């Protein structure tokens, strides 16, 4: 009987095919969304003044619900069928459970921090509730798989980006430091220009003014197209393969043999 109730509770928590699971999942999702929204709007002065008390009450209530969910997940750890030793400990340190723990941390505020500044930072942790959504969206996991399959290409692309960034920033530092000693004061400072340029953001707060600096900047900008085009190219290919694999992985409908598409 108790086992049955536990199984039902587990399936509701994990989004199984039980009555109430869909309702519970939607409720948690809405609670997450409202908490994130609450953290965001609370930073507006007039919202804090007018609705601060209501938002704090909402925070306490929803964190208690999240805490209950966390405790229940922990309690039902046996349902996962992990027969190894320290199954509970292993489960407790899994990424999703750690996110859950971090989110409910502000509940323990009175025990953790006396300093009001620290309290504020801790209360901000609620925004990590947004990661709890990851558990609810299967498609994002698939998405992640696709990208992970290209991890080596992407890592290489970002390594090349990093290499170009270091060389570009060093050259720009030597070209501009006499003309703008405040802006290009060191290579790390110059790397701010590098990142802003290579990603084509171009805020305009750090801009080369000497002819040599502009020549280097123009070269980096044009090179930046290539650096930018590479990850996009990798992604396009990744999605292309993902779609092909998704459409059945290829077996001929007539003879049934597998086809490489």
Interface positions, 137-196, toward a second copy (CB under 8 A): 137, 139-140, 143, 152-154, 156, 158-161, 163, 166-167, 170, 173-174, 185-188, 191-192, 195-196
Task: Kindly report each contact of residues 188-197 with a partner whose C-beta sits within 8 Å and lies 24 or more positions away, as own/partner.
Answer: 191/165, 191/166, 193/169, 194/165, 194/166, 194/168, 194/169, 194/220, 195/165, 197/168, 197/221, 197/224
Interface with a second copy: number of residues (CB under 8 A): 83
Residues 79-108 that bind a second copy (CB under 8 A): none
Q: Should residue 217 be labelled a site residue for a second copy when binding is judged by CB under 8 A? A: yes
Give strand pairing partners of 258. Answer: 251
- Closer of 26 and 199 to a second copy (Cβ): 199
Q: Should residue 202 be labelled a site residue for a second copy when binding is judged by CB under 8 A? A: yes
Give the one residue of 27, 30, 43, 68 binding a second copy; rule: CB under 8 A: 43
Give the one residue of 11, 35, 62, 197 binding a second copy; rule: CB under 8 A: 197
Q: Should residue 251 be labelled a site residue for a second copy when binding is judged by CB under 8 A? A: yes
Q: Should residue 15 be labelled a site residue for a second copy when binding is judged by CB under 8 A? A: no
Return the structure tokens found at 183. Answer: 């802006």
- Closer of 1 and 260 to a second copy (Cβ): 260
* 181 CB burial (10 A radius; 0-12, 13-18, 19+): exposed
Rounded to a whole number of angstroms, the minimum distance from the CB of residue 7 to a second copy is: 31
Give the one residue of 32, 122, 172, 238 binding a second copy; rule: CB under 8 A: 238
Give the separation between CA 39 and CA 61, rounded to whole angstroms.
14
Q: Should residue 41 be labelled a site residue for a second copy when binding is judged by CB under 8 A? A: yes
Query: Angle at CA 257, nearest 5°, toward 251 and 258?
Result: 50
- Closer of 75 and 218 to a second copy (Cβ): 218
Give the one residue of 99, 113, 127, 183 binding a second copy; rule: CB under 8 A: 127
Q: Should residue 124 be labelled a site residue for a second copy when binding is judged by CB under 8 A? A: yes
Which window, 11-19, 78-86, 104-112, 203-211, contacts a second copy (CB under 8 A)? 203-211
Give the separation between CA 234 and CA 146, rounded to whole angstroms.
11
Q: Should residue 5 be labelled a site residue for a second copy when binding is judged by CB under 8 A? A: no
Q: Which residues of 147-178 are buried (b: 16+ CB within 10 A; e: fewer)?
A: eeebeebbeebeeebeebbeebbebbbebbbe
* 217 CB burial (10 A radius; 0-12, 13-18, 19+): buried
């Amino acid at each position: 009987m108790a086992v049955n109730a536990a199984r039902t509770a587990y399936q509701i928590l994990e989004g199984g095919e039980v009555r109430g699971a869909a309702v519970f999942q939607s409720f948690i999702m809405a609670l997450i969304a409202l908490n994130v929204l609450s953290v965001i709007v609370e930073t507006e002065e007039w919202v804090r003044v007018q609705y601060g008390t209501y938002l704090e009450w909402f925070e306490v209530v929803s964190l208690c619900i999240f805490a209950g969910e966390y405790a229940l997940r922990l309690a039902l750890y046996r349902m996962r069928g992990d027969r190894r030793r320290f199954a509970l400990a292993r489960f407790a340190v899994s990424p999703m459970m750690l996110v859950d723990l971090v989110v409910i941390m502000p509940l323990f505020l009175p025990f953790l921090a006396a300093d009001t500044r620290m309290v504020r930072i801790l209360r901000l942790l609620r925004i990590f509730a947004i990661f709890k959504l990851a558990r609810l969206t299967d498609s994002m996991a698939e998405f992640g798989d696709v990208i992970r399959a290209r991890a080596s290409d992407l890592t290489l692309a970002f390594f090349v980006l990093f290499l170009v960034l270091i060389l570009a920033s060093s050259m720009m530092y030597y070209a501009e430091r006499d003309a703008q000693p405040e802006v290009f004061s060191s290579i790390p400072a110059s790397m701010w220009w590098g990142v802003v340029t290579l990603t084509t953001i171009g805020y305009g707060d750090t801009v080369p003014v000497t002819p040599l600096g502009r020549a280097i900047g123009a070269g980096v900008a044009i090179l930046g197209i290539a650096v930018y085009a590479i990850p996009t190219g990798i992604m396009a290919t990744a999605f292309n393969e993902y779609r092909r694999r998704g459409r059945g992985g290829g077996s001929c409908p007539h003879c049934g043999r597998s086809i490489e598409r």
